[in-house]
Amino acid sequence: MPIYQNNLKEKKIDFNTILNKVRVFAPATVANMICGFDILGFAVDEPGDEVKMYRVNEPGVRIRSIVGDGGRLPLDADRNTVSACVKMLLNDLGILQDIGVEIELIKHMPIGSGLGSSSASTVAGLFAINALLGNPLTKEELMPYCVEGERLACGHGHADNVAPALMGGITLVRGGADLDIVKIPVPKELYAGIVFPQVDVPTRDARQLIKDKVFLSDAVTQWGNIAGLVAGLFQEDYELISRSMHDVIIEPSRAILIPEFYAMKEIALSNGALSFGISGSGPSVVAVSKGKEVAEIVTSKIQDHLSANGIESFKYVSAVNVEGPKVLPFID
């Protein structure tokens, strides 16, 4: 789908049917999918973030509370990316002066984990305001606001996390600024075993480690792997997926930021993972596996290894989330 020439002011919003409140979950995401730097990513069933959104009388958009961020995220509605994106959307719809919205953000996932934390929050917020308004926008029309949220949060407007968070499944983002997003089929038994070691790797630093220029020979290896991975996903060929999921470009630079990276990799591959690599810019790592059992075993062994080296960690074992964000029953 080539995305969006928005004429949002032509959207009809029926103020009589706007909901009073809505609760939305949006999934964490594994950007890059090991070999597809800046173009591939997938969503997972857990973790993810939650937004509760309330319609109120006083016009404007406000953050009512944030839970689970350790106080790191701004409550100022113009600085918080969730509320800022919601404001932007309401402004483009021409109704920012006419509606009041308050947001509770419940973070179920760590910030700076390499799991698309900001994307999950932004997508949850935008999916929530759209649901509150009676879904006037398609997901494709919501996408540019999600990307803008990434620009606010990370300093660059990449879609590699927001695309799978919003669309669900495995997404290919090609065309850079043109934002051409292609859904790739999800093999049924594909599981992600994610381990988030408690070390800090800021995204900006991780990007700075990457060199501007790469050897053409490495690039050829990488795009052969990417083509093999896409073909393997279409054919549900787990062996081809496994042979193809190698990153010769980014991993060598970024792995040095992640303690025990190569030991974890050895554990993952020797215990049956199809592939192992960095999730986004890290420090989370992901063992892509065939079946839940392998993912469970691999993540447990990696956690044991980290623990023996004095590093605490979280783990998440999850199928690929094919749905993207969803409205949850409201619990006060």
Residues belonging to the binding site are 110-120
Is 150 a known active-site residue?
Answer: yes
Catalytic annotation, pick one of 203, 251, 260, 299: 203
User: What does the block give as tokens for 247?
Assistant: 């990153």
Site residues (CB under 8 A) for a second copy, limited to 33-52: 36-40
The nearest distance, CB 211 to a second copy, in angstroms, is 7
Residue 213 in contact with a second copy, rule: CB under 8 A: yes
Which lies closer to a second copy via its Cβ, residue 38 or residue 189?
38
Catalytic annotation, pick one of 50, 102, 148, 150: 150
Residue 140 in contact with a second copy, rule: CB under 8 A: no
The nearest distance, CB 215 to a second copy, in angstroms, is 6
Which lies closer to a second copy via its Cβ, residue 90 or residue 230?
230
The residue within the footprint of a second copy, chosen from 222, 275, 313, 318 (CB under 8 A), is: 222
Residues 182 and 42: beta-carbon distance below 8 Å: no
261, 263, 222: which is closest to 244 by C-alpha? 222
Report how far residue 147's alpha carbon sits from residue 168's, in angstroms, rounded to the nearest whole number. 15
Report how far residue 193's alpha carbon sits from residue 170's, in angstroms, rounded to the nearest whole number. 16
Per CB under 8 A, which region of 142-150, 166-174, 272-280, 288-296 contacts a second copy?
Answer: 166-174
Q: What is the DSSP string of 217-232?
A: HHHHHHHHHHHHHHHH
The nearest distance, CB 2 to a second copy, in angstroms, is 7
Strand arrangement, sheet containing 285-290: 275-278, 285-290, 190-197, 313-319
Q: Which are the contacts of 321, defined by CB distance < 8 A and separation ≥ 6?
A: 27, 42, 43, 44, 45, 48, 168, 169
What are the Cα distances from residue 144, in Å, to 2, 89, 115, 161? Answer: 12, 10, 20, 13
Report how far residue 115's alpha carbon sits from residue 47's, in angstroms, rounded to the nearest whole number. 9
Handedness of CA 136, 139, 143, 146 (dihedral sign): positive
Site residues (CB under 8 A) for a second copy, limited to 230-269: 230-231, 234, 239-240, 243-244, 249
User: What does the block give as tokens for 296?
Assistant: 């469970």
Which lies closer to a second copy via its Cβ, residue 172 or residue 194?
172
Residue 83 in contact with a second copy, rule: CB under 8 A: no
Which lies closer to a second copy via its Cβ, residue 15 or residue 215?
215
Which lies closer to a second copy via its Cβ, residue 110 or residue 277?
277
The residue within the footprint of a second copy, chosen from 215, 307, 309, 312 (CB under 8 A), is: 215
The nearest distance, CB 300 to a second copy, in angstroms, is 30
The residue within the footprint of a second copy, chosen from 15, 223, 262, 330 (CB under 8 A), is: 223
Summarize the annotated binding site for ATP as residue ranges.
Answer: 110-120
Residues 247 and 265: beta-carbon distance below 8 Å: no
- Region class of 68: left (phi > 0), else alpha (psi between -120 and 50), else beta: left
Active-site positions read 150, 203
**Interface with a second copy (CB under 8 A):** 2, 36-40, 172-176, 180, 182, 184, 210-217, 219-228, 230-231, 234, 239-240, 243-244, 249
